[in-house]
Amino acid sequence: MKLEGEQFLDADPMTVWAALFDREVLAAAIPGCESLDQTSDTEFAAVVKLKVGPVSARFKGDVVLSDIVPGHSCTLSGKGSGGIAGFAKGAAQVTLTPEGAGVRLRYDADVAVGGKLAALGSRLIKSTAQKLTDAFFTNLSEILAVPETAGPV
């Protein structure tokens, strides 16, 4: 399943870039994120609670960042297991392009799901995934829009 989209973020590229690697920012931006631990410079372990159609599950997953071109692009790949609900795995290519005072973030992802999620939720997965992705970037842009002083201390 292919997912793609783009989002304009009103912040300079290096701020956005840093945010993408910031555990606290990510934890706040990922919908349903219950915990997020950074296990190395480029690896995170997450627990996320999601609902797709009739299936709701806590996903325990790992995210790895690779193909890193600082300030410009990287690949996020991950695999999440939701126990009886199934699993999701996929990879997203994220590219940042300066645009005016801000930056345009573009993502191209390829995602696969399995188990109960696939059997019962296949009609809903694409729209749900798109909705979750949109929510992530909306959250991210809201976090970036908050003045520095109101940020995490």
Partner 1 sequence: MTLHIGQPQRRENARRHLAGRGRFVSDLALPRMLHAVFVRSPMAKGRILDIDTEAASLCPGVLRIFTAADLNPRCQPWVGTLDHFAGMQSPPMNILAEDEVLWAGHPVAMILAHSRAEAEDAADQVLVDIEDAEPVTGGAPVLLPGAPRANEAADSNLCYETLLETPDVDRAFAEAAHVVEAAFTFGRHTAVTLEPRAVVADYDPASGALTVHHGTQTPYQFQDVYARHFGLPEGKVRVIAPDVGGSFGMKLHVYNEEMGAVAASLILGRPVRYVADRLESFVSDIHARDHDVHGRMAVAADGTILAMEVDDLTRIGAVSAYPRTSAAEGNQVIRLMGAPYRMPDYRGKLSVAFQNKVQTSQYRAVGHPIACAVTEALVERAAEATGCDPFEIRARNLIADDAYPHVSATGYQFEKLSHQACLARLREMMDPDALRVEQAALRTRGIYRGFGIASFVEITNPGATFYGIGGARISAQDGAVVRMLPSGDIHCAISVTEQGQGTETIIAQVVADQLGVAPERVSVTTGDTATTPSGGANWACRGAGIGGETALRAGRQLRDRILTLAGALVQADPATLRLAGGAVVDAASGAPRIALEEIGRIATYRPDTLPHGVDHSLTVAHHFAPVGYPFDFTNGIQGSLVEVDTETGLVKLLKHWVVEDCGRIINPLLVDEQIRGGVVQGLGPAFFEECQYDVDGQLTNGSLADYLVPMAVEMPDIEIAHIETPTQDTILGAKGVGEAGTAAAGAAAMNAVNDALRPFGACLTQTPMTPLRILDALDAALKERTAP
Nearest CA to 57 out of 77, 32, 39, 40 is that of 32
Does position 90 interact with partner 1 (CB under 8 A)? The reply is no
The smaller minimum CB distance to partner 1, of residues 89 and 104, is found at 89
Nearest CA to 30 out of 69, 78, 93 is that of 78
Does position 35 interact with partner 1 (CB under 8 A)? The reply is no
Does position 80 interact with partner 1 (CB under 8 A)? The reply is no
Helix H or strand E encompassing 46:
strand 43-52
Does position 112 interact with partner 1 (CB under 8 A)? The reply is yes
Query: From the CB of 34, what's the least distance to partner 1, in Å?
Result: 13
The smaller minimum CB distance to partner 1, of residues 7 and 81, is found at 81
* 150 DSSP 8-state letter: G
Residues that bind partner 1 (CB under 8 A): 57-58, 60, 81-87, 89, 112-120, 122-123
